[in-house]
Amino acid sequence: MIKICVVGAGYVGLTTSAALAEFGNEVQCVDIEQSKINMLNQGLIPIYEPGLGELIQKNVQQGKLHFSFDVKDSIKNNSIILIAVGTPPKEDGSSDLSYINNIVDTIVSTIQDYKIVITKSTVPPGTNEWIHQIFLDMGIDETMFDIVSNPEFLREGMALWDIFHPNKIVFGTKTNRPIKVLKKLYEGGRAPLIFTSLTGAEMIKYASNAFLATKISFANEIARICDAYNVEYLDVAKGLGTDSRIGRHFLNAGLGFGGSCLPKDLSSLKHSALRKNVDTKLLDAVLEVNDSQIELYLKKLNTLLPDLAGKKITVWGVTFKPNTDDLRFSPSIALINELINKGARVHTYDPIVQLQLPSTCSHTDQYESISNSDALIIATEWEQFCDSNWADVKSRMSRSIILDARNCLDGETIRKNGLVYLGVGKQ
């Protein structure tokens, strides 16, 4: 049984801790936020992630998972330290590495025996080399430590599936010394292991997210062209997706990508490229298309409601995608803000989140939220929205406009119920 300290009880730290414990390791997950650790020690989970609570509870009961706010003590007492702290975006788009900095300082100031330091947080190319250099600069001998870059590829809402069915596990190392321990640590993971340099692993992570974002912006641009030619985009996506060189994943057109990873990682990668004078025309275009999706859908709505001032608009779904409570960089929130700017009276409903946004009214009942609404916008594709009772919807709304901003509804069914269906790239 390998003993490991995971630093950070956020989204990545918690899911990784639970999975490593499930793989048979003994995990101590630490965080400076005492209230968070108190919650976890009372069996409460600070984030919404399907199945995570049960997995944590099981491993805590089996004595394989512990929580503590004594970060320094845990770092001192464990020879393997996995860093899973946040690297939020700075104003200029680069990554804020101050949390990483703090942990590295703690490790170098307490190190007494050999340590393997694994960076799980998403960090810009060159960061792990820089961490290695800090150890050397502090006079720590190379025999005393190994730095490993081990990025995560978890999707929120699907994190447990992804962690137990990974398509790869990536390790960036400088020497072969930590490899045996790393293989043992992820023994339960059963996925191809990819070994590369420290910066190589960092680039795999950024390139993956940049490629996924590119697919989405590509899909959105194609959907616009389909819209102009009255072509059903979903047919095109299906046709594209059957080619295994392309694949159907991440070709869903809609409001665009949000969340804590794709927008931030793209901006950070762009920043890293510019620092080395590398041009990023493609990344710029991907972000540009994404940023203009809100306007595109508002224009669609304007075809039937030219003036939004005073209109009651209901938005279903406020998170950046379904099955999460995460509002970070949510395209739905950006849309809501635009609606407010245009003078609309915005009402919202979300299956998990009660949105606390000035000038909006949040509802706990899906159907109550649409009473007397002029238009209903589906901003995230929760299954319960796609399976709505459209006759009931029709009876409650004042005007019956449904704007499908996630391409997830069956337009035919909506129309049969006397509602007006609007979408981009929908016949």
Question: How many residues sit in the footprint of ligand UDX (CB under 6 A)?
Answer: 20
404 binds ligand UDX (CB under 6 A): no
- Provide the token pair at 347: 């009402």
257 binds ligand UDX (CB under 6 A): yes
Which span sits near ligand UDX by CB under 6 A: 84-92, 152-160, 167-175, 349-357?
152-160
Given candidates 40, 236, 251, 334, which one binds ligand UDX under the rule CB under 6 A?
251
Q: How far is the CB of 277 from ligand UDX (least distance, A)?
A: 27
Which residue in the list 261, 361, 386, 408 is annotated as catalytic? 261
315 binds ligand UDX (CB under 6 A): no
Whichever of 301 and 379 has its CB closer to ligand UDX, that residue is 379
Nearest-angstrom CA–CA distance, 172 and 417: 56
212 binds ligand UDX (CB under 6 A): yes
Q: How far is the CB of 41 from ligand UDX (least distance, A)?
A: 27
Round to the nearest angstrom and report the end-to-end CA distance of the chain.
Answer: 58
Q: How far is the CB of 258 from ligand UDX (least distance, A)?
A: 4
Given candidates 90, 155, 271, 396, which one binds ligand UDX under the rule CB under 6 A?
155
Nearest-angstrom CA–CA distance, 11 and 120: 12
Nearest to 53 by CA among 83, 88, 15: 15
Q: Is 426 annotated as a binding residue?
A: no
Nearest-angstrom CA–CA distance, 76 and 44: 27
223 binds ligand UDX (CB under 6 A): no
Nearest to 132 by CA among 113, 108, 150: 108
User: Is residue 5 annotated as a catalytic residue, yes or no?
Assistant: no
130 binds ligand UDX (CB under 6 A): no
84 binds ligand UDX (CB under 6 A): no
Which span sits near ligand UDX by CB under 6 A: 76-84, 86-94, 195-203, 253-261?
253-261
Q: Is 36 annotated as a binding residue?
A: yes
Given candidates 127, 173, 252, 369, which one binds ligand UDX under the rule CB under 6 A?
252
379 binds ligand UDX (CB under 6 A): no
262 binds ligand UDX (CB under 6 A): yes
Q: Is 254 annotated as a binding residue?
A: yes
Which span sits near ligand UDX by CB under 6 A: 163-171, 181-189, 209-217, 416-424?
209-217
Q: How far is the CB of 206 from ligand UDX (least distance, A)?
A: 11
Residues in contact with ligand UDX by CB under 6 A are 152-156, 209, 212, 216, 250-252, 254, 256-259, 261-262, 320-321
Q: Which residues are annotated as a binding site for NAD(+)?
A: 31, 36, 87, 122, 156, 264, 328
